[in-house]
Chains A and B, each alone.
Chain A
């Protein structure tokens, strides 16, 4: 589609004899977030590196904003933002100095480091050396650095891995704000809950291949099993009953249960993305 921010076609990469990414294809639309999910070693970071120009694909093509990364990488890199999984800041410099350096590189004359630090919850600490920051603060600074140039595509590699809930939440807010501004987001993670909260589309990576690619809702509808979990009074105690939803006889089963038993509680139960991932790939996310 002409409006897709990222188009990958048959991308492949191998480390020696090991094929890390096996000819995958996908697209990310404008103002969309793609959650790239999978366990360690699934090929997420290799794909991330190919798309950001850190690795050259062995075969296949990829375009960012219509620019082929094998020909126009430099131009494309001017319009993307990249946040790495591991911290790679200039630790002997202050946060403001770090941000100002990248603002100069991107030629952002009206850039305000303080305003950006405020957005990621680091106001007041801008002049401190980064070496004195906690892991969560460094990661928020990494996010800030990745959006200096108001990127059209934001690449995020495990942006909340190992962070405290407050830092993770702040980072998720910034990601959603960036999408609102107009950025497309490529988000690699093995946190299914995070992907469920943020992503418009998710891709399940397993052993270098995409096992499934769809919206979280569609994946749950397609592969998940919905049910009602009902607790009823049984003598002096309680008993559990389960009614499978989306079946022709579901309505009758619900009516019969309420007519014949003393219902105490009713809860709906939905499949999680992790359940679906395990069902599709036969392996967990660890």
Chain B
């Protein structure tokens, strides 16, 4: 890699970036999209809680989903599976029944029931689950005090640390800012390929490595600086700043790689917008799990931005540290490496 060439190319890209009217259109298109998403979302509240139930014997009331709705019950084979299901987000809560539950109910004595909650389930949801379990026990026994409930939070308990809605939005807005940069970089790259300027560079001493390094530095740098600026303004660097900065660097690398992939299949601004928006929406999904706990299930972990969102959210909002989040960062770094390899491979084919 030739540093003076990379420096020249980065300077050119920044100049192109600064004078491109594209960003005005992007801002307007982004605004329109966000408004559209808002109106597409249902305007009625649907609070159906899916609860896992484990017990050697399970009373009939705990196996049938109540007809009035709002609750969905799923029987689970083991206590360990129940715990894992709660951690994975498959259930908003788990109900572990004692082996002697039927005998207690028959004897008119309260049974000791343990409720498992994921760390991020808000207090109102926990209260709702507790009420629902008491109601099920009442239906089974006809007694109002049929159960003694013990709550157990799996993982880090965040019950005592309520998070303000705007702080819940912080990871989502950081992802949105990063992804906006992805669109901008993808457009720059698609233009280079379509207008043949990349070809003009490749018949000079500029190598493919120089070209990708310059684009990577430009994209990662711009995305990172803007995301850090936002997080800093939003007060997200008060705890574990180094960890959050590393997460944002990895996030910036990830969106740069996504930009390479989007550019490799795009021919013009409209196709960048089309493919880019698809990536945009997918990347944003994990942050809904932070905004609305229980709204998404464990499958969101297949989306790489989950690990960025989770790291930023838990570090900034729950003071989680390196020991808690190292796995997130490792997985995020691995996703970055895989996406970068795929992006460079795809874009190289396009440019050749």
Show the binding face of A for B, using Cβ within 8 Å.
52-54, 74, 77-78, 80, 82, 84, 86-93, 97, 101-102, 104-107, 145
Is the pair B4, A54 in contact by a Cβ cutoff of 8 Å? no
Q: Nearest chain-A residue to B21 (Cβ)?
A: A92
Q: Within 8 Å CB of B9, what residues of A?
A: 105
| 8 interchain pairs, CB-CB under 8 A | A53-B202, A54-B202, A74-B207, A89-B200, A92-B19, A105-B9, A105-B206, A106-B205
Residues of B within 8 A of A (CB): 4-5, 8-9, 11-12, 15-16, 19-20, 195-197, 199-207
Q: A104 to B4, Cβ gap below 8 A? A: yes
Q: Beyond A86-B196, A88-B196, A105-B5, is A52–B205 a contact (Cβ under 8 Å)?
A: no
B199 touches A105 (CB 8 A): no
Asked if residues A105 and B207 are in contact (CB atoms below 8 Å), the reply is no
Q: Is the CB of A82 within 8 A of B4?
A: no
Chain A nearest CB from B269 CB (Å) reads: 13
Contact indicator A53/B12 (Cβ below 8 Å): no
CB distance from A261 to the nearest CB of B (A): 61
The binding surface of chain B is classed by DSSP as helix
Residue contact A107 to B203, C-beta cutoff 8 Å: no
Shortest CB–CB separation between residue B203 and chain A, in angstroms?
4
Which of A86, A91, A105 is B204 in contact with, Cβ under 8 Å?
Answer: A105
Q: A53-B202, A54-B202, A104-B4 are in contact. Are A84 and B207 (CB under 8 A)?
A: no
User: Bound complex: CA of A199 vs CA of B195, how far in Å?
Assistant: 30
Contact of A82 with B8 in the complex, beta carbons under 8 Å: no
Contacts of B15 in A (CB 8 A): 93, 97
Partner of B203, one of A82, A89, A97, A104: A82
The minimal Cβ–Cβ distance linking A145 to chain B, given in whole angstroms, is: 8
Output the nearest chain B residue to A85 by Cβ-Cβ distance.
B196
Whether the Cβ atoms of A77 and B197 lie closer than 8 Å is no
Residues of A within 8 A of B205 (CB): 74, 77-78, 105-106
Give Cα distance in the complex from A48 to B338, angstroms: 36
Using Cβ atoms and an 8 Å threshold, which residues of chain A touch B203?
52-54, 77, 80, 82
Determine if A101 and B196 form an interchain contact, defined as CB atoms under 8 angstroms apart. no
Query: Apart from A52-B203, A92-B19, what 5 extra A-B contacts exist at CB < 8 Å?
Result: A74-B207, A87-B196, A90-B12, A90-B197, A105-B206
Max chain A C-beta neighbours (<10 A), residue from B5, B202, B204, B207? B204
Docked complex Cα distance between A77 and B210 (Å): 14
B5-A88 in contact (CB<8A): no
CB-based contact B197/A92 at 8 Å: no
Closest to A129 in B: B19
Instruction: Give the complex CA separation of A86 and B194 in angstroms.
Output: 12
Expressed in whole angstroms, the minimum distance between the Cβ of A187 and any Cβ of chain B is 16
Nearest CB of chain A from residue B78's CB, rounded to whole Å: 58
B199→A88 contact, CB < 8 A: yes
Of the candidates B4, B11, B19, B204, the one whose C-beta lies within 8 Å of that of A77 is B204
Choose from B4, B5, B16, B199 the contact partner of A90 (Cβ within 8 Å).
B16
Q: In the assembled complex, which residues on chain A have CB atoms less than 8 Å from the CB atom of B4?
A: 104, 107
Q: A54-B202, A82-B203, A102-B204 are in contact. Are A89 and B8 (CB under 8 A)?
A: no
**Chain B residues closer than 8 Å to A88, beta-carbon distance:** 195-197, 199-200
Which chain A residue shows the least CB distance to B18?
A92
Q: For residue A52, which residue of chain B has the nearest CB?
A: B203
Are B16 and A89 in contact, CB atoms less than 8 angstroms apart? Answer: no
Cα–Cα distance between A154 and B199 once the two chains are bound (Å): 16
Residues of A within 8 A of B12 (CB): 90, 93, 97, 101
Q: Tell me which residues across on chain B come within 8 A of A91, comparing CB atoms.
A: 195
A91 to B196, CA, bound (A): 11
**Whole-angstrom distance between the alpha carbons of A74 and B203 in the complex?**
9
Determine the chain A residues whose CB is within 8 A of the CB of B19 once the complex forms: 92
CB of B16 within 8 A of CB of A101, answer no
Known contacts A101-B8, A104-B4, A105-B206; A54/B16 CB under 8 A: no
Cβ B8 vs Cβ A105 within 8 A: yes
Most A CB within 10 A of own CB, among B20, B199, B203? B203
Q: How far is the CA of A86 from the CA of B197 in the complex (A)?
A: 10
| Alpha-carbon distance between A82 and B201 when the two chains are bound, in angstroms | 10
**A107 cross-chain contacts in B, Cβ below 8 A:** 4
A131 to chain B, nearest CB (A): 11
CA distance A80 to B195 in the complex (A): 22
Interchain CA distance A104-B206 in the complex, whole Å: 11
